[in-house]
Amino acid sequence: MPTFSVILVEPRYEGNIGSVARVMKNFGFNELILINPVKLGKEARAMAMHGRDILENAEILDGFEKLKEKFDFLIATTSIVGTDRNLLRTPVFPEDLKNSITLDGKIGLVFGREDYGLYNEEIEACDLLVSIPASEEYPTLNLSHSVAILLYEISRQRFENRKKRLKKFRKADLVEKEVLLEKFDSFVDSVHDREQDAKLAKKTFRQLIGRAFISGRESFTLIGLFRKARDRIKKQNKKEI
């Protein structure tokens, strides 16, 4: 599983830096790197809200060239989409970042200056260029908005990967649940003498199973457990008689 850092290159407005820290907190990203930033003050802390810890722990670098030493993979961002003649400015889109989710190591998301973006040599130093689709009339997004969109996409794809792994666990079907409830009822009848107590136990277990995400294997295990417990109790009762 890769670790992602947000890298802001020469950000000019401390409010933007604070807003980025807040967005990072929203999506569970903690590592912020600032390259030659404006001095941070009250405005940055106010905009960061609950992301102040990210702001306070941000690493400050004095040059872009140091990034290559720190990261295994760098993803640059741009609002300027090139043509066939400018391959350097030919980007992928946020949904194409799914391949980077499967990488191991440290990945840096590089965001350029508010007024100019990233220089060509900075883009060239990165491994991938991504652009967020926007209006052709005004394609430049606010810095924190751009960060939010990319972090959302990475978070969404991570969640999709987790869902795929969860699908390997087959959910118990209705028949299996009914058999489980039947075995539990039989078990309860063997241990409770009072009808009221047995009724309450059965109702409680039904509510529990109704709320639970129980797999077929778990259902099978519990069915066997309740059946064996019931049979052992019945056998013990016969001995006592």
Q: For residue range 15-36, what is the model confidence (pLDDT) as tens digits?
A: 999 999 999 999 999 999 999 9
pLDDT at 99 exceeding the cut of 50: yes
Cα–Cα distance, 42 to 39 (Å, whole number): 10
Q: Which of 145-154, 164-173, 188-197 is predicted with the least confidence, judged by mean pLDDT?
A: 164-173
pTM higher than 0.85: no
Q: Residue 84: which pLDDT band, with cuts at 50, 70 and 90?
A: very low
- DSSP states along 115-166: TTB--HHHHHTSSEEE-----SSS-PPPHHHHHHHHHHHHHHHHHHHHHHHH
pLDDT at 163 exceeding the cut of 60: yes
Q: Residue 169: which pLDDT band, with cuts at 50, 70 and 90?
A: low
Q: What are phi and psi of 57, to 5 degrees?
A: -95, 5
Q: Output 12 or 209, whichever has higher pLDDT.
A: 12
Q: What is the predicted pLDDT for the residue at 26?
A: 95
Percent of the chain with pLDDT over 90: 37
Enclosing H/E stretch for 100: helix 98-101
CA 64 and chain centroid, separation: 28
Q: Residue 165: which pLDDT band, with cuts at 50, 70 and 90?
A: low
Cα–Cα distance, 100 to 92 (Å, whole number): 12
Q: What average pLDDT does this structure show over 90-109?
A: 78
pLDDT at 152 exceeding the cut of 90: yes
Q: Residue 105: which pLDDT band, with cuts at 50, 70 and 90?
A: confident
Enclosing H/E stretch for 204: helix 195-211
Q: What is the predicted pLDDT for the residue at 103?
A: 66
